[in-house]
Chains A and B, each alone.
Chain A
Amino acid sequence: MPALVGTLSLALALALAVYGATAAIVGARTGRPRVVESARTAAYSLFALVVVANLAMLAALLGNDFSLRYVASNSSRATPTFFKMLALWSADEGSLLLWNLVLGGYLAAVAFRFRRRRPETFPWALAVMFAISAFYLVLVLGPTTPFATLATTPLDGRGPLPLLQNHPLMAAHPPFLYLGFIGFTVPFAFAIAALITGRVSDAWMRITRRWTITAWIFLTIGLVLGALWSYSVLGWGGYWAWDPVENVALLPWLMGTAFLHSVMVQERRGMLKVWNLSLIVGTFALTVLGTFLTRGSILASVHAFAESIVGPLYLAFLTLVLLGGFGMIAWRRESLRAEATFDTPLSRESVFLGNNVLLLVLTFTVLVGTIYPLLAEAVTGGKVSVGSPFFNRNTAPVALLLLFLMGIGPLLPWRAASPSAVLRRLQVPMWAAAVTAALLALTGAGVVAVIVFGLAAFVAAATVAEMVRGVQAQRRARGISVGAAIGAAVARNHRLYGGLVVHLGMIVAVVGVSWAALADRSSEVTIARSEIVHAEGYDLRYDGLTTREEPQRRVLVAELTVLDPETGDEVVRLKPSLNLYPSASEPIGTPSIRTGTPFNGMVDLYASLVTVENDTRASFRFFVNPGIGLLWLGGAVMAFGGIVAAWPTRPRAASPRGPEPMAERREEVTV
């Protein structure tokens, strides 16, 4: 029953996608709004049908319908209800259903958003989104078949992959990542619509600005949650392994970040038009590349998905996106001439350009590192893998330069800055950097630490000073309290303040990541029961093992007490465990973490259980990770800042382009 309902609704959705694309194009070409209107309705219906397909799969999972191959392979009677629901996206076919759901959701949202005010490019953008939706619907109807049935119904299913049923974060990480990935479809569709119609003004960017920021927020949250999952489930003490699948999720984020900045140059100065179109086509292409590399089973990864003929299909789609997108940009090059030129290197737009170049260098570095194994095999036939050292060495210096530009960008006016005014603005940040660097140097920190944290202090001070300046201007102008002035300043230019908050979040995250990279320590210890072993500045005592039987697994919990070696006081009791799942040959560990807070110096104490010998001895990996908590905090701040920047406001009269004296530049926009 679920198989029939699911397949049928997907097939109908595909028919609607084809109809919708056709109707939107016909409506646009013949100028008949009623035909476009029917395409809009088709978008709602398509979304409803994909919802039904997802619900059918959910019902099959919850109802233990093992006649479905997907249910038999990814769920079992003993799987807890919560993880049965998550099985919806814990394997290739199911996650493609979710992909279609999110894409259908964006399609319906675009149809709803432009139900009254319809830009000229709207029908074409709708057609592009329908076409993309049709591609993904074809994928779930033929090459991968989530609703395939088995000839004989097994008595029980295999259960989800143990790693994927070990932590509730699996509930949040994939949906956010998909919301981010697929969200870039909207600006891409409007960009393509602009290229098709030849209306390559700035309209497509203004229309999709908030859609782009929204996608970016989701992707940021998805990436941070992925890192958090890796940190709290895998038990290796780290959060980012430069795994190919992590990389391909990072790539659109990097290019999308570049896009968010460079659109402002076009809005303000009418420059970088080809560049912006290329960036959004590139960002969308990178999301397709990501799915191709992971689902087409091109690269080995912990996110291993099944091999099938979807690989060539993804590649064909990717080629179409690349050739079509960049081909049309080249075709329209004549109408994409810049309206202005860069006046001086000391201006906001120059910093944005620098930011873009650096972000693209990062994108390229990560891309090369990710597909290098492919390249090497194509040329030499050997299997190679590119590890963290390559990525760390090549991305860290670029990231630091980027951080520096992040500090000075908001301080500079558009067009041209007077060096003396800039120097005056730089005073506070420079002092902050100097004091931080001096304090660190006096406490004996290394050169790298002095540079990184000095730079972070510089950027943080510059960002905060910029916010303070805006708030004070409001206070002086209106004679209101600080609180009211903050509200007034943000309401006046939420895009700028949202952007500055994102920058602050980024600094917090960078400080956390650098701190952890410079100062984390770990060791592997084997401890006999009730004995104390000294490791990484702490005394560790093993207090024995308890076994817990759960329906779907057996859990061995070891108790490890961390003691202060000087006072002998108990610092924390960690309970790392090993989980034995019937479908896995190796036990899956669950680390135990004492999260760092400002009260304990932001130091995470992290233990994972490696092996146990009866109740007498156990081996642990013990990590002391300072600063990692700042990464999660920074991620949350970035998401918050993004929301502030994307918050809907009543439309204001667009500010005309033209010479802007220094005094007016406080009202400028960022992000």
Chain B
Amino acid sequence: MSAGVDETDEVREAVEPDGRARSRHRWRTVAFVLAPLVLFALLLATGLGRDPRELPSELIGQPAPTFSVPRLDAGGTIDLGDLHGQVVVVNFWASWCVPCREEHDALAAAWDRYRERGVVVLGVSFEDTREAALEFRDELKGDWPLADDPGSRTAIAYGVFGVPETFVIAPDGTIAAKTTGAVTYEWLTDEIEGALRAGNVE
């Protein structure tokens, strides 16, 4: 290939011996080399918007795994079965988890806004000690129910990979939405409104 290019180059130089052909030829070589590289860079760019960990959760639309967990902030237990017909936000968190601090205000705001409409926010403690969890609550305040999860049974049933993870359970007992990482107020309001609407349609 390069031999062929060389020949035409030499022929043209013989015809028009000024430097123009030479320079034109130079640019052509540069463009020829760079074109595939630009294509390669564009291919890599398609990967930019993509989150390799964002795999569709198998749980969406499935019946939420039932659980009965002891409360942390008060006595008694919380049974998911008792909350049928209500929208339940299950938030897995831990006192040692930094993003859990970030999302605290969003959860508090959503709880304040929707508790009147029968929405329950439930914080399920993940791999944490009772004392540390209560200390966290004392420090950051809030009054939505917190529960312990002995043996991480609930977390395992929900396939929790790392905290924080938040699930929204629709009134019909199916999982409507799931997110990993610090949850935002916008996400919570969108998903809760959606779940409430779905409940009204039925």
CB pair B50–A377 under 8 Å, yes or no, is yes
CB pair B98–A72 under 8 Å, yes or no, is yes
CB pair A299–B126 under 8 Å, yes or no, is no
Query: Given the complex, which residues of A lie within 8 Å of B160, measured CB to CB?
Result: 585
Given the interface contacts A327-B34, A333-B29, A584-B127, does A318 sit within 8 Å of B152 by beta carbon? Answer: no
Give the interface residue-count category, chain B: 35 or more
Query: Given the complex, which residues of A lie within 8 Å of B44, measured CB to CB?
Result: 289, 292, 298, 315, 318, 371, 374
A296 proximal to B (CB < 8 A): yes
CB pair A330–B34 under 8 Å, yes or no, is yes
Query: Given the complex, which residues of A lie within 8 Å of B47, measured CB to CB?
Result: 293, 296, 298-299, 311, 374, 377-378
**B122-165 interface mask toward A, CB cutoff 8 Å, 1 = contact, 0 = none?**
00001110001001000100000000000010011000111000
Given the interface contacts A322-B41, A333-B29, A377-B46, does A150 sit within 8 Å of B34 by beta carbon? Answer: no
**A325-351 interface mask toward B, CB cutoff 8 Å, 1 = contact, 0 = none?**
011011101100000000000000000
CB pair A583–B101 under 8 Å, yes or no, is no
CB pair A585–B127 under 8 Å, yes or no, is yes
CB pair A583–B94 under 8 Å, yes or no, is yes
Of B51-59, B71-79, B108-116, B192-200, the stretch lying at the interface with chain A is B51-59
CB pair A375–B127 under 8 Å, yes or no, is no
CB pair A585–B162 under 8 Å, yes or no, is yes
Name, among B30, B55, B101, B126, the residue most crowded by chain A CB atoms within 10 Å (CB to CB). B30
A614 proximal to B (CB < 8 A): no
Query: Given the complex, which residues of B lie within 8 Å of A377, measured CB to CB?
Result: 46-47, 50
A214 proximal to B (CB < 8 A): no
Query: Given the complex, which residues of A lie within 8 Å of B37, measured CB to CB?
Result: 319, 322-323, 326
Docked complex Cα distance between A73 and B94 (Å): 12
Docked complex Cα distance between A154 and B95 (Å): 9
A152 proximal to B (CB < 8 A): yes
CB pair B53–A304 under 8 Å, yes or no, is yes
Docked complex Cα distance between A371 and B44 (Å): 8
CB pair A327–B48 under 8 Å, yes or no, is no
**A191-226 interface mask toward B, CB cutoff 8 Å, 1 = contact, 0 = none?**
000000000000000000000000000000000000
Docked complex Cα distance between A318 and B38 (Å): 11
Docked complex Cα distance between A73 and B34 (Å): 42
A425 proximal to B (CB < 8 A): no
**B155-191 interface mask toward A, CB cutoff 8 Å, 1 = contact, 0 = none?**
1100011100000000000000000000000000000
CB pair A585–B96 under 8 Å, yes or no, is no
A173 proximal to B (CB < 8 A): no
**A298-325 interface mask toward B, CB cutoff 8 Å, 1 = contact, 0 = none?**
1111001001000110010011001100
Docked complex Cα distance between A339 and B64 (Å): 74
- The distance from the CB of A355 to the nearest CB of chain B, in whole angstroms, is 21
B14 proximal to A (CB < 8 A): no
Query: Given the complex, which residues of A lie within 8 Å of B152, measured CB to CB?
Result: 585
Docked complex Cα distance between A150 and B97 (Å): 12
Residue of A nearest to B159 (CB): A585
Residue of B nearest to A158 (CB): B96
CB pair A158–B41 under 8 Å, yes or no, is no
CB pair A298–B50 under 8 Å, yes or no, is yes
B33 proximal to A (CB < 8 A): yes
A424 proximal to B (CB < 8 A): no
Query: Given the complex, which residues of B lie within 8 Å of A150, measured CB to CB?
Result: 98, 101
- The distance from the CB of A420 to the nearest CB of chain B, in whole angstroms, is 33
- The distance from the CB of A242 to the nearest CB of chain B, in whole angstroms, is 16
Query: Given the complex, which residues of A lie within 8 Å of B94, measured CB to CB?
Result: 583
**A355-390 interface mask toward B, CB cutoff 8 Å, 1 = contact, 0 = none?**
000000000000000010011011000010000000
CB pair A315–B98 under 8 Å, yes or no, is no
CB pair A318–B98 under 8 Å, yes or no, is no
CB pair B40–A298 under 8 Å, yes or no, is no
Docked complex Cα distance between A107 and B199 (Å): 64
Query: Given the complex, which residues of A lie within 8 Å of B33, measured CB to CB?
Result: 326-327, 329-330
Docked complex Cα distance between A327 and B26 (Å): 10
Query: Given the complex, which residues of A lie within 8 Å of B45, measured CB to CB?
Result: 312, 315
Docked complex Cα distance between A142 and B141 (Å): 33
Docked complex Cα distance between A93 and B25 (Å): 46
- The distance from the CB of B90 to the nearest CB of chain A, in whole angstroms, is 15
B11 proximal to A (CB < 8 A): no
Query: Given the complex, which residues of B lie within 8 Å of A299, measured CB to CB?
Result: 47, 52
Docked complex Cα distance between A322 and B30 (Å): 12
Docked complex Cα distance between A73 and B98 (Å): 6
A627 proximal to B (CB < 8 A): no
Docked complex Cα distance between A69 and B101 (Å): 12
Given the interface contacts A157-B96, A582-B96, does A315 sit within 8 Å of B48 by beta carbon? Answer: yes
CB pair A330–B43 under 8 Å, yes or no, is no
CB pair B46–A374 under 8 Å, yes or no, is yes
- The distance from the CB of B134 to the nearest CB of chain A, in whole angstroms, is 12
User: Which of A154, A371, A582 is close to B98, meaning CB atoms less than 8 Å apart?
Assistant: A154
Name, among B46, B97, B98, the residue most crowded by chain A CB atoms within 10 Å (CB to CB). B98
Docked complex Cα distance between A378 and B96 (Å): 38
CB pair A331–B52 under 8 Å, yes or no, is no
CB pair B101–A152 under 8 Å, yes or no, is yes
CB pair A583–B96 under 8 Å, yes or no, is yes
Query: Given the complex, which residues of B lie within 8 Å of A585, measured CB to CB?
Result: 126-127, 152, 155-156, 160-162
A-B contact pairs, 21 of them (CB 8 A): A152-B139, A154-B95, A154-B96, A155-B95, A155-B132, A157-B96, A301-B52, A304-B52, A311-B48, A315-B44, A318-B44, A319-B41, A326-B33, A326-B34, A330-B32, A330-B33, A374-B44, A378-B43, A583-B96, A583-B97, A585-B156
A interface with B by C-beta (< 8 Å) = 69, 72-73, 76, 150, 152, 154-159, 289, 292-293, 296-301, 304, 307, 311-312, 315, 318-319, 322-323, 326-327, 329-331, 333-334, 371, 374-375, 377-378, 383, 582-585
B interface with A by C-beta (< 8 Å) = 26, 29-30, 32-34, 37-38, 40-41, 43-48, 50-53, 55, 94-98, 101, 126-128, 132, 135, 139, 152, 155-156, 160-162
**8 tightest A-B CB contacts, nearest first:** A300-B52, A298-B47, A378-B46, A330-B33, A330-B30, A319-B41, A322-B37, A330-B29
13 additional A-B pairs beyond A296-B47, A378-B46, beta carbons within 8 Å, are A73-B98, A155-B95, A300-B53, A330-B30, A331-B30, A371-B44, A374-B43, A374-B44, A374-B46, A375-B43, A582-B128, A583-B97, A585-B156
